[in-house]
Chains A and B, each alone.
Chain A
């Protein structure tokens, strides 16, 4: 960056003219163009982000991985006596009651977002893209929840779902007829109740992403498809959707990451218990609360890290490929 910015301000023409005799001197000239200030700038611009990255991201990551082999409680010094090897992982995989339910809940979360929230968001985007009357108003309404944090979404939906005082049970007359549905308390359904609340927000997010994508699709493509005799559905699935491939990748990655880091709403509802266990709430409840099972919590965090690396690497490799 520094190099290029500097090059554009120097009066000498850049060596890109392609003249053969310049090739020899070019190397040396480009080298010499980096003044000492340039070099310092480069060190600063690469060094500061790198240092921050190491200190704030890789430091804690490595620390978590190391801590996951200990039974450290967070109190007192960490001694060799604290090292327990793979015991935390053994407990986690084979005897910890809440681990596999949490994994299952994360997977359900991912499936729900992928197969329900995302198609609905896409559907809204297609509808709104057709310049309906009042489209702006609908767009604002659907987008409104996106500006709310999931914590606030949780509070809002808690009130709707409350068994005796809540809107939903009263609206459907379930309180009067004594058929109360415990939306957030029944471990068989509360995950889906929470997913509906989370989707209320997620749908708007996906919608906006696809709206932007749809706007960028060349009109000529649609017209060409029409001329070829394709109907609306064919046009969308055969022409428009493939053209939006980059958006699709972004949406897939966002969905995966949102599902893995799902936390706020389950924690607000009941601190992630009784059917709402998630990997993230287990980490918090074990290592950040008074429980202070720091080592064990770190082991869960490492598992989540490993799982998270998959979508992240997919995303990065995709980005790298498009850059090339």
Chain B
């Protein structure tokens, strides 16, 4: 989830700032120079002959390419630079200009960025956020690229980069599942068993409470972590289709099925720690690290927090998928697994010249080897390509990949599947915080507020 990284950074006292960076363009090889010289003399010859010809077909090699990247954290940024270097070497010396912009700033400025003079290709998120800008005509469809690489992706990934118009707009580059995390040593010490259904899950939570642990950790100060719990309960209880339609406003928030989600959630919410609304996700994770809390529903990026506590803590980290609720939708094994993607812009002033290079870049990113380079620098981001070599994965990462490939349906996360104005701070984040104040209270009026807020929003064009 995009916001997660923004907040993570803020907590380290780094203020959002604009950060631009030029990658070192690889020196042109002698052959490239000869090639360029050859083309230009040919062009000069044609011009001299007065032949009106279209420019030579751009094969996508050589040339130049501008990229806008939001991977501003040190690890992913290093990975991106390594990939740019590899691309230049493999693609006939394409001169790549990589503009890295702080993650939060990039997100806040995305509309004006895409409308003004964007780079040729840019990093973004799949789901509603991708479809929205595609529908606004601010992205270029890349169906031809997708046709050539689709065999390397599962159907769920294909679905995630398809626009409302049926065209394909992105290349999935990494993802991270949302699961229930725990420490193996804590489970071993109390001989807890991994719960697979709701009764076992709540019984385990009750047992943990008796044992003096906070059964389930929750830190919702930033507003979005609770949305992950809403997503998974809704998916298990009401199914993928209902969840997606609810996020898109095609179902009502006053629906009794939504009420059922809040009822179910209340069974879990009583096991959260006090003060969750003032606790950041990092502080909530630290409670699990310190063995004060038993379980924690979050994205795989929680491993960063364990890594910071030391390799022992990271090796002790494990997770299980959210338990079944005994509905027909259990079989979907759906879960939130936000996917990061590359997209091609529409209004880039250089896109005419660079389109073939941009497509070559997309094709390059569809390779497992490319995605592994990123993964080695950012272990929380799992490759999406089927041919990615999994031998370097840790058991945790292997398991994450396994869970995803078992899932029949993948959702992106509430704030990627719904409109940003609805999902944001003065919207669903507030509503869920209100709910968590008193989970056992009647939610009728709260659901009414959600629906009337949705209704008050202007139509999305």
Using CB atoms and an 8 Å cutoff, list the residues of chain A in contact with chain B. Answer: 71, 73-76, 84, 91, 95-98, 151, 155, 161-165, 169, 178, 180-187, 190, 268-274, 277, 281-282, 285-286, 288-293, 295-296
Residue numbers in A under 8 Å from B275 (CB-CB): 163-164, 169, 180-182, 185
CB-contact partner of B433 in A162, A180, A273, A292, under 8 A: A273
Chain A residue nearest to B459 (CB atoms) is A71
Given known contacts A163-B278, A270-B221, is B458 in contact with A286 (CB within 8 Å)? no
- In the complex, whether B117 has a CB less than 8 A from a CB of chain A is no
**Given the complex, which residues of B lie within 8 Å of A75, measured CB to CB?**
111, 115, 136, 138, 461
- Are B458 and A97 in contact (CB-based, < 8 A)? no
Question: Number of B interface residues, CB 8 Å?
Answer: 48
Interfacial chain B residues near A187, Cβ < 8 Å: 277, 433-434, 437
Which one, A95, A271, A293, contacts B421 given CB within 8 A? Answer: A293
Pairs A-B, 10 closest by C-beta atoms: A163-B275, A185-B277, A185-B278, A291-B421, A182-B275, A290-B420, A271-B425, A180-B274, A184-B278, A71-B458
Can you name 5 A-B pairs with beta carbons within 8 Å?
Answer: A73-B458, A91-B456, A163-B275, A184-B277, A289-B108
Cα distance, A91 to B223, chains bound together (Å): 24
Q: Within 8 Å of chain A (Cβ to Cβ): is B279?
A: yes
Interface check B287, CB cutoff 8 A:
yes
Q: Cβ of B274 and Cβ of A190 under 8 Å apart?
A: no
Interface centre among B129, B278, B421 (most CB of A within 10 A): B278
Residue-wise interface mask of B (411-439) relative to A, using a CB-CB cutoff of 8 A (1 in contact, 0 not):
00000000111001111011001100100
Shortest beta-carbon distance from B58 to chain A in Å: 29
Q: Nearest B residue to A162 by beta-carbon distance?
A: B283
CA distance in complex: A181, B275 (Å):
7
Residue B13 at the chain A interface, CB threshold 8 Å: yes
A163–B217 alpha-carbon span in the complex (Å): 13
CB neighbours of A281 from chain B (8 A): 425-426
**Sample of 6 further A-B pairs with CB below 8 A, known A273-B426, A289-B108, A290-B421:** A163-B283, A185-B277, A274-B223, A285-B425, A286-B426, A289-B420
A183 CA / B457 CA spacing, docked (Å): 32
Q: Name, among A71, A273, A286, A292, the residue most crowded by chain B CB atoms within 10 Å (CB to CB).
A: A273
Q: Which residues of B contact A181 (CB under 8 A)?
A: 275
B363 at interface (Cβ–Cβ under 8 A)? no
Contact present for B426 and A272 (CB under 8 Å): yes
Q: Spell out B's residues near A (CB within 8 Å).
A: 10, 13, 15, 107-108, 110-112, 115, 129, 136, 138, 220-223, 273-280, 283, 286-287, 292, 419-421, 424-427, 429-430, 433-434, 437, 449, 452-453, 456-458, 460-461
CB-CB < 8 A to B136: which residues of A? Answer: 75-76
Cβ contact within 8 Å between B223 and A273 = yes
A75-B115, A164-B283, A185-B278 known; A273-B437 Cβ under 8 A: no
Please name the residue on chain B nearest to A81 by beta carbon. Answer: B461
Contacts of B107 in A (CB 8 A): 290
* Min distance, Cβ A131 to any Cβ of chain B, angstroms: 39
Is B424 within 8 A of A290, CB to CB?
Answer: yes
B277 touches A271 (CB 8 A): no
B433 / chain A contacts, CB cutoff of 8 Å:
185, 187, 273-274
CB distance from A265 to the nearest CB of B (A): 13
Inter-chain contact B426/A98, CB cutoff 8 Å: yes
Which residue from chain B places its CB closest to the CB of A161 in the assembled complex?
Answer: B278
Q: A274–B437 Cα gap in the complex (Å)?
A: 10
Cβ-defined partner of B456 (8 Å) among A96, A184, A277, A289: A96
Q: Assess whether A271 is in contact with B223, with CB atoms less than 8 Å apart.
A: yes
Q: Give the shortest distance, in Å, between A300 (CB) and chain B (any CB).
A: 10
Q: Would B461 and A184 count as touching, CB distance under 8 A?
A: no
Q: Are A165 and B286 in contact, with the CB atoms below 8 A?
A: yes
Residue on B with the closest CB to A297?
B421
**Within the complex, what minimum Cβ distance (angstroms) separates B232 from chain A?**
22
Given A185-B279, A286-B426, A291-B421: A274 and B434 within 8 A (CB)?
yes
Complex CA gap A169/B426 in Å reads 28
Collect the chain B residues with CB atoms within 8 Å of residue A286's CB.
421, 426
Whether the Cβ atoms of B221 and A164 lie closer than 8 Å is no
A225 to B118, alpha carbons, bound, how many Å? 71
Closest to A70 in B: B458
Find A285's partner among B424, B456, B458 (CB 8 Å cutoff): B424
Residues of B within 8 A of A293 (CB): 421, 457-458
C-alpha spacing A295/B430, complex, angstroms: 22
Cα A21 to Cα B243 in complex, Å, equals: 92
Distance of A288 Cα from B104 Cα, bound (Å): 12
Known contacts being A286-B421, A290-B420, is A277 close to B278, with CB within 8 Å?
Answer: no
